[in-house]
Amino acid sequence: MFMKKRRASKKSVDKWKAKKWYPVIAPPVFENKVVGEVISGDPANLQNRIVPVPVVDIIGRSKPEWDYSNIKFRIKEVKEDKAYTDVIGFEVAFSFLRALAKRRRSVIHEVVDVKTKDGRKVRIKALLVTHKKVSAIVKKNLRKELVERLKEFASSKDYYALIKETLNGKYASHVFKHVNKINPVQHLVIKKMELFEEFT
């Protein structure tokens, strides 16, 4: 019985040794940076694997919401022992969003589906928080303006430009400027972006 356990252990160690680490390469929008490593005994098994990476590891802490938030990369190709990826979205940490939605404020969650200038379909999720509680009609007007401006900005950009301008804050700033004319807004966050992917 003891000998069987030793053989099983040796077999497990051999399998581990046969595996290899592959650096994960971000697309050109992030300057083809190495954003992590994945391990596999067969590079074919890495195809389509999702690799979440903290936003701060990619762009630094330029905005508080990027703490603990992730960018999602999907491995599209393994070549020359490197795993090349595409960006399929990102998500702001729930703990940050929860801290914004305090009492005596109105909160609007909105989801819009858009097609970027280069034809990629993307789902955008935004959070708007007013300075104080507002009436139903004001909330309706805010939501209408929010949806219109979310779509307007996203459809005017190529996919990677949209990602970059979301992460550097230009997307939220553009939308904020317009909705703030309807009613004073305290926070506007692009909390999630998801790419509609096509698999062959």
50 contact partners, CB below 8 Å, separation of at least 6: 72, 73, 74, 75, 88
Instruction: Check whether residue 85 and residue 177 sit in a common domain.
Output: no
Instruction: Check whether residue 75 and residue 113 sit in a common domain.
Output: no
Which residue, of 59, 74, 91, is where some domain finishes? 91
Each residue of 125-142: pLDDT tens digit?
Answer: 999 999 999 999 999 999
Instruction: Report the alpha-carbon distance of residue 85 to residue 63 in Å, rounded.
Output: 25
Each residue of 156-175: pLDDT tens digit?
Answer: 999 999 999 999 889 999 99
pLDDT confidence of residue 135 = 96
Q: Provide the mean pLDDT of the chain.
A: 89
| Domain membership flag for residue 178 | yes
Structural domain of residue 104, as residue ranges?
A: 94-195
Report the number of distinct structural domains present in the chain. 2
pLDDT confidence of residue 103 = 74
| Domain membership flag for residue 3 | no
Instruction: Check whether residue 188 and residue 99 sit in a common domain.
Output: yes
Instruction: Check whether residue 57 and residue 106 sit in a common domain.
Output: no
Instruction: Check whether residue 137 and residue 117 sit in a common domain.
Output: yes
**Ranges in the chain, pLDDT < 70:** 1-18, 61-62, 199-200
Q: Where are the beta strands (DSSP E) in the chain?
A: 20-25, 34-40, 50-54, 70-79, 82-91, 107-115, 121-130, 185-195
Count of CB atoms situated within 10 Å of the CB of 13: 10
Count of CB atoms situated within 10 Å of the CB of 190: 23
CATH number at residue 132: 3.30.479.30
| Domain membership flag for residue 47 | yes
